[in-house]
Structure 1
């Protein structure tokens, strides 16, 4: 079974790509022309830390969601191409999704995300 991303028990993405390595995380969504509405790139950090997100060479707006070690939503933002953003400390996972996802699924601080990070 392919991995899915759920928010408070509701599937919000079923096209998941994991970014586990530094190289994959540095590349992120750069140079792509778009992403599907049911897509999420999930960055898995080695340990909770401060996070900086850049939009260099990302040619479309995205929603970014920051999760703690328990996969609870700690913050989120809609980002435009070529703009940077610094999140808060103690972030373990960063989700990059289609712009409008935050509003579409009424994401809120403290909401619970679910996904199987061990899926290959």
Structure 2
């Protein structure tokens, strides 16, 4: 008999970092979990019952691509921010519906997706074209993940 150990569904991504969004209202910093491995990306924020204010999760990819996400097994309504390789906001899907299996598309090539608490994008005035600072994205690097 072979035992297989699987990560807990509510486990957090191992790495953390800081994302800074620059909008018309100034700079806004968020402590984020970094989803890099396929398992971390598949799990995302599933099964979480809350997300601290000024926190989120960033999903990083090695090359730009059209992205698709969903909210299956996700209890928390989220804002999904799709980010270009140049470090700008491509598209925002605000206030996603918990548990929905509807597919949410990036609307173009993206290198990352940032998930924040629902309403956060509106609160800070985030819009397409705004700057995103994070290592490996835009001026901070190029697809280092």
Q: What TM-score results when the alignment is normalised by the length of structure 1?
A: 0.89
* Correspondent of 2:127 among 90, 96, 108: 108
Residue ranges of structure 2 left out of the alignment (5+ in a row) = 1-15
Q: Retained in 2: the 8 A contact 1:4–1:11? A: no
Higher relative contact order (CA 8 A, sep 6+): 1
Aligned structure 1 segments of 4 or more residues deviating by more than 4 angstroms:
none
Residue ranges of structure 1 left out of the alignment (5+ in a row) = none
2:12 matched residue in structure 1:
none
Aligned length: 116
Q: What's the offset of the Cα at 1:88?
A: 1.5
Q: State the distance in 2 between where 1:66 and 1:86 align.
A: 9
2:92 matched residue in structure 1:
76
1:21 aligns with 2:37: yes
Q: What TM-score results when the alignment is normalised by the length of structure 2?
A: 0.74
Describe the superposition over 1:30-68 as per-residue Cα deviations: whole angstroms up to 9, x where unpaired: 011110111120100111011111100001200000000
Q: Retained in 2: the 8 A contact 1:65–1:96? A: yes
Q: What's the offset of the Cα at 1:116?
A: 2.5
1:3 matched residue in structure 2:
17
Quote the RMSD (CA, aligned, Å): 1.7
Larger radius of gyration: 2
